[in-house]
Structure 1
Amino acid sequence: MSPNRQAAVDRSAERAAPPPARAEALRVVNFDMARGQRFGEHEHDVHQLVWAPTGVLAVDIGAHSWVLPPTLALWIPAAVPHTTSASREARMRSVYVQPDRCPVTWAQPTVVAVGPLLRELITHLADPDLESDPRTRAEAVMFDLLRPVGVTTIDLPMPRDGRARRVAEALLAVPADHRPLEDWGREVGASARTLARLFSAETGMSFGRWRTRARLRASLEHMAGNRPLAAVALQVGYSTPSSFIAAFRQETGRTPGAYFAASAP
């Protein structure tokens, strides 16, 4: 979820999660998140693997956004500012990893597939009574199972000018809004030409392409929640599933089905 959408912001709980004890390479902490709850921007001194066994999470890092169904997790290196949110009720199972005990060397946020074995290992490692030797063995296997998957993010930089930003925020809230720039201009007090120039200069893309990306990024959360494709297309502003699929393929290089199949273990 974009930081500009309405959400309950928790500025303390997840950022204050305890790091792994020095005898452990990692620690697993559970967070039950309500619909719309968001942990505001924060960072950790340790690496983090963000995963939800139930529900759907979204992680925003700068202009990049990842939508995570239970088949996907996101590796966030230490000291990378991020926000985490739940578009519907979810349980986040967060794995915090000591950098000096970690064989994973990814310097950038990286999506990994969560198959049945990795799912069970994370659950196993969440047991506070797990003894030292079994824990060490399970940690080693867990690291071996972390494999990157090719999931393209749909980046959506926000305009800085207040007038253009009001338009962008309104479209994030209601991506199916079809009004042209002339109508938006009357609402925010700027000409259509001015708004078009602002979107191009401040986001690096035309207004039309920006709106398309806003719709497609909104569609990821709906599809991750297993909504029917026709319903998703209508929800984000497309009159037919075929027009939605064509737009999705043009931006990501894949159909929606292939996009999520690429994340499947």
Structure 2
Amino acid sequence: MSPNGQPHRIRRPAPRLVNPPGGAVAVASFPLDGGEWFGRHRHDAHQLAWAPDGVLAVRTRGRTWVLPPTVALWIPAGTPHSTGATASALLRSLYFWPDRCPLTWDEPRVVPVSALLRELIGHLAQDEDRLGAAERERAERVVLDLLKPVEVTTVRAPMPRDPRARRVAEALRSDPADGRTLAEWGTAVGASARTLARAFATDTGLPFGQWRTQLRLQTAMPLLAAGATVSSVARRVGYGSPSAFVAAFRRGVGVPPGAYFAPGARG
């Protein structure tokens, strides 16, 4: 196949691949059902993973990115990763051959997808006989010029190993708006607040309050990506006001929700 990274399991026809001889960029398109994942794999080429329709998720190096159509993820060649969708989506992957690519990012990077970049990706996804070699080369150069990473932080809320702390974590995953204190949770699970605080810090690397904030943001991201309003999501995950949620999102992710999720917000 292509850039050496056949999906772990495909229940559909083979993905559509545009990989012209001599080109610097190959483009593959994979329709995905909600909850469908390509198992852990790697590519010989750099990959730009993007969903023009739906919401993509990528797991790699202990981190998870939720990617609405406004952003894509650069995955360096050789990086083990798994890719899936939180709802029905079209995964459109660009593969950049390292010997013809000037970019040298050695870590995954989030890249805004502007209206121009979106159109150019569709342009390169055309059948090889519809796009001449010179025209394709010009488009590839512009695509590379448009790849400008933005500094965002992945949202992590690992589960604690301690069984009592894990019960608290599972309950909060079911209802992130639950505002009980650690002392109140301790009464529910049979542990002191100090024991639970120590378990969260030891097992997750995060104090309980920060862990709960991360969990709330993690829950919020797919909802926002699916088009829910900031106000409704703020209530759903336990914030008293949209402004409090936006402030927490900006602190946790690095940009406000509107910059990350709103269609066209990045130009």
TM-score band (shorter)?
Answer: 0.7 to 0.9
CA contact (8 A) 2:220 2:233 kept: yes
TM-score by length of 1: 0.81
Aligned to 1:28: 27
Aligned to 1:215: 216
3-state SS in 2 of match to 1:195: helix
Identity %: 53
**Which amino acid in structure 1 is aligned with residue 92 of structure 2?**
R
Q: Kindly indicate whether residue 92 of structure 2 is the aligned counterpart of residue 81 of structure 1.
A: no
Q: Give unmatched runs, 5+ long, in structure 2.
A: 1-6
| Distance change in 2, residues 1:250/1:112 (3 Å) | closer
| Distance change in 2, residues 1:119/1:235 (3 Å) | same
CA contact (8 A) 1:20 1:97 kept: no
Q: Kindly indicate whether residue 14 of structure 2 is the aligned counterpart of residue 12 of structure 1.
A: no
Decide which moves more: 214-223 or 46-55.
214-223
Aligned to 1:118: 117
3-state SS in 1 of match to 2:111: strand
3-state SS in 1 of match to 2:220: helix
Decide which moves more: 55-64 or 174-183.
174-183
Distance 1:194 1:128 in 2: 61
Decide which moves more: 40-49 or 249-258.
249-258
The Cα shift of 1:263 comes to 6.1
The Cα shift of 1:23 comes to 2.6
Decide which moves more: 37-46 or 152-161.
152-161
Distance 2:203 2:18 in 1: 38
| Distance change in 2, residues 1:106/1:199 (3 Å) | same
Distance 1:146 1:251 in 2: 23
Distance 1:219 1:12 in 2: 28
**Which amino acid in structure 1 is aligned with residue 9 of structure 2?**
S
Q: C-alpha deviations, 1:62-87, integer Å up to 9, x for none?
A: 34332222111111101212222222
Distance 2:223 2:90 in 1: 17
| Distance change in 2, residues 1:98/1:206 (3 Å) | same
| Distance change in 2, residues 1:104/1:180 (3 Å) | same
CA contact (8 A) 1:63 1:156 kept: no
Give 1:69-218 correspondences, 5 Å limit. 69-129=68-128, 130-161=131-162, 163-165=164-166, 167-181=168-182, 192-218=193-219
3-state SS in 2 of match to 1:133: helix
Q: Kindly indicate whether residue 36 of structure 2 is the aligned counterpart of residue 37 of structure 1.
A: yes
TM-score by length of 2: 0.80
Q: Give unmatched runs, 5+ long, in structure 1.
A: 1-9
Distance 1:127 1:99 in 2: 22
CA contact (8 A) 2:39 2:83 kept: yes
CA contact (8 A) 2:18 2:126 kept: no
**Which amino acid in structure 2 is aligned with residue 245 of structure 1?**
V
**Which amino acid in structure 1 is aligned with residue 121 of structure 2?**
I
| Distance change in 2, residues 1:237/1:106 (3 Å) | same
Distance 2:167 2:146 in 1: 43
Aligned to 1:59: 58
CA contact (8 A) 1:181 1:195 kept: yes
3-state SS in 2 of match to 1:100: helix
**Which amino acid in structure 2 is aligned with residue 43 of structure 1?**
R
CA contact (8 A) 2:24 2:100 kept: yes
3-state SS in 2 of match to 1:35: coil
The Cα shift of 1:134 comes to 2.5
Distance 2:56 2:188 in 1: 33
Decide which moves more: 221-230 or 58-67.
58-67
The Cα shift of 1:209 comes to 1.2
Distance 1:127 1:264 in 2: 25
Count of residues paired in the alignment: 255
